[in-house]
Structure 1
Amino acid sequence: MRLAIAGDLHGDWTCHDERLLDQLQPDALLFVGDLSDGDLRLVKAITRLQLPSAVILGNHDRGKDRSGERLRQQISMLGDLDCSWKMRSWSMPPIAVVGARPCSSGGGFHLSEAVQSVFGPVTEEESVVRIVEAASLAPDHWPLILLAHSGPTGLGSDASSICGRDWKHPHIDWGDRDLAIALERMRQRRSADLVVFGHMHHTLRGGKGERVTFHRDRYGTAYVNAACVPRSGSDEAGHPLIHFTWVEFENCHLSLVSHRWFHPTGKLAYEQTLLRQPSPEMTSC
């Protein structure tokens, strides 16, 4: 099973992405949020994709509209693709994707006025419960993925940490506290196989190096930051490149995580492998 993950788009999504996906033919596509600043045309383009897809919205997606109306419009357009505090699953491929708190800006726990307008004054504990309850609906033998805009707390407090604050001092852990608590409670039943998020861009502020983008904890849960921004560029010869984070499961077990840069034709130009491990003996998903 092959999953393509689109990091923070920030409006960078064109027909070239759609044609590339036609060439790559992943089994499913995940969006980690910050699609744009509320551009409904981009949301509509995502809804037209002929792929099993799941979307969590990011802090930029609410735009400058504090009333929540633009956010509400996007959620309505996305329909079942929206994963806000919900599980999205497909039998083909057999996978369960659980959305965390929508429109997160990291930094512990905070709900913007727009989010409160749409979802109400959700407390941190209520957010935790919603995530855990959604995860409890996942079939035990299916891979379980948590889809968030910001990753959880507890993964480091350096500027280059996977969720580290790099834009001002002091550099601290800027993850989501409710997501970390939810992951801990979920372990009473089962651990998540993979937590996918963005928000904290790969290149550190001021050009001061690159961020760590992968982590695996002692419970076996893998964490990947997909926020390669900008996600389009060119190679040394000037040929265009498009980035997707790429994940593969074999026999329902995580076997590969990498960052990949493709030519629009589908040819792989560069790959940064974050995890590669052999699959266990054949099991049934």
Structure 2
Amino acid sequence: MFFCPSRVPSDPRAVLRLAIAGDIHDQWNHQDHELLRWLRPDALLVVGDLSEGRQRIAALLQQVEIPLACVLGNHDSGKDPSGRRLEQQLEMLGERHCGWRLRELRPPGIAVVGARPGTAGGGFRVSQAVRSVYGPFNLHESAERIRSAAMAADPALPLVLLAHCGPTGLGSEAADLCGRDWKLPARDWGDLDLALAIHQIQQQRRLPLVVFGHMHHALRRGRGERRSFRIDGRGTAYLNAACVPRHGVDQLGRALHHFSWVEFDAAGCLLEASHRWFGSSGDLLYEQTLWKAPPAADPLALVASPVPPSGQGDRDPAAALLPRC
């Protein structure tokens, strides 16, 4: 973790840069649009929980000028069991919503597959709103929808799974990526259908990244912060982007906007993952580095990244400068 007063640095090997908006919870405005124009990522991924079923955020996302993929979360049904509020947002997002389906973004050249929409985690819990919109389905049918969408993706493109809640298997402590922190005992609160789909996909093709939110970084009752990044033994990276609230003000009174950020090289290998807080003029004010590929001997060489140990990012005395999610 470190303080950085400069604009976004760029690895010379990077050919694909993704901005990720964690659980929005009504915190998206035209300043975010301006930041995207300043930062110029190649695409924007949105992990859901736009609001409590209102259409304002979905309408704003229609105005985003760069390629976008989104999956809706449990809050997006607005406690409406009929599913009508969920349907209204799905209609507004149109092709941008990729729940249970493939969305190939060309440009920039990336395949995004959405997981089960409207999930609240906890293994396989399906709300009445989701059943009202999508009809009946079981765990294995949901996993197969994710797997088959991934198998339809162009194998030449890097594949990203976009989910609201992450998969089971990432730890059962409260501070783990999908750990339950609001009730004892702590337990793994990930989605089992997503975990099954990931296992099946990994047997058939490379899966460099799974992005999700839902489990907020700040743990309940002031118990610290959640781990938000991990790489498994097959080289798949898992990134929890749910920094909530994503808008804030630092100790100097500067407005902050949060995006998680990932960069890939031309071979589709992950180069970097971080959480970034930007000022209103596009300056990178704070960055939490989660993982960075080791530099090649030739900085322009495109090499496959080795599998690193899992980690949460740098921890140093400058950590106190970081805004709290």
Give the TM-score taking structure 1 as reference length.
Answer: 0.97
* 1:76 corresponds to: 91
Matches within 5 A, 1:1-285: 1-251=16-266, 252-278=268-294, 281-282=301-302
Q: Encode CA deviations 1:251-277: one digit per residue, 9 max, x unaligned.
A: 121101000000011000000001110
CA distance in structure 1 between the partners assigned to 2:45 and 2:105 by the alignment:
13
The percentage of aligned residue pairs carrying the same residue is: 55
CA distance in structure 2 between the partners assigned to 1:220 and 1:186 by the alignment:
13
Contact 1:250 1:279 in 2 (8 A): no
Question: Considering only aligned residues, what root-mean-square deviation do their CA atoms show, in Å?
Answer: 1.1
Greater RCO (CA < 8 Å, at least 6 residues apart)? 2
Assess, with a 3 A threshold, how the Cα gap between structure 1 residues 279 and 59 changes in structure 2: closer, same or farther. Answer: farther
Displacement of 1:53 after TM fit? 0.1
Code of the aligned partner of 1:73: Q
CA distance in structure 1 between the partners assigned to 2:197 and 2:143 by the alignment:
5
CA distance in structure 1 between the partners assigned to 2:95 and 2:39 by the alignment:
24
CA distance in structure 1 between the partners assigned to 2:276 and 2:187 by the alignment:
29
The list of structure 1 runs, each at least 4 consecutive aligned residues, that deviate by more than 2 angstroms after superposition, is 278-283
Code of the aligned partner of 1:152: P
Contact 1:100 1:147 in 2 (8 A): yes
Assess, with a 3 A threshold, how the Cα gap between structure 1 residues 200 and 189 changes in structure 2: closer, same or farther. Answer: same
Displacement of 1:188 after TM fit? 1.8
Q: Encode CA deviations 1:110-144: one digit per residue, 9 max, x unaligned.
A: 11111001101111010011000000011112110
Displacement of 1:48 after TM fit? 1.4
Matched pairs, number: 283
SS in 2 for 1:174: coil
CA distance in structure 1 between the partners assigned to 2:90 and 2:252 by the alignment:
40
Q: Encode CA deviations 1:69-104: one digit per residue, 9 max, x unaligned.
A: 111111111110011100111221110000000011
CA distance in structure 1 between the partners assigned to 2:114 and 2:63 by the alignment:
21
Displacement of 1:44 after TM fit? 0.8
SS in 1 for 2:184: coil
Give the TM-score taking structure 2 as reference length.
Answer: 0.85
Structure 2 unaligned runs (5+)?
1-15, 304-325
Q: Encode CA deviations 1:224-252: one digit per residue, 9 max, x unaligned.
A: 00000011111221110110000101112
Contact 1:183 1:191 in 2 (8 A): no
Displacement of 1:191 after TM fit? 3.2
Assess, with a 3 A threshold, how the Cα gap between structure 1 residues 279 and 58 changes in structure 2: closer, same or farther. Answer: farther
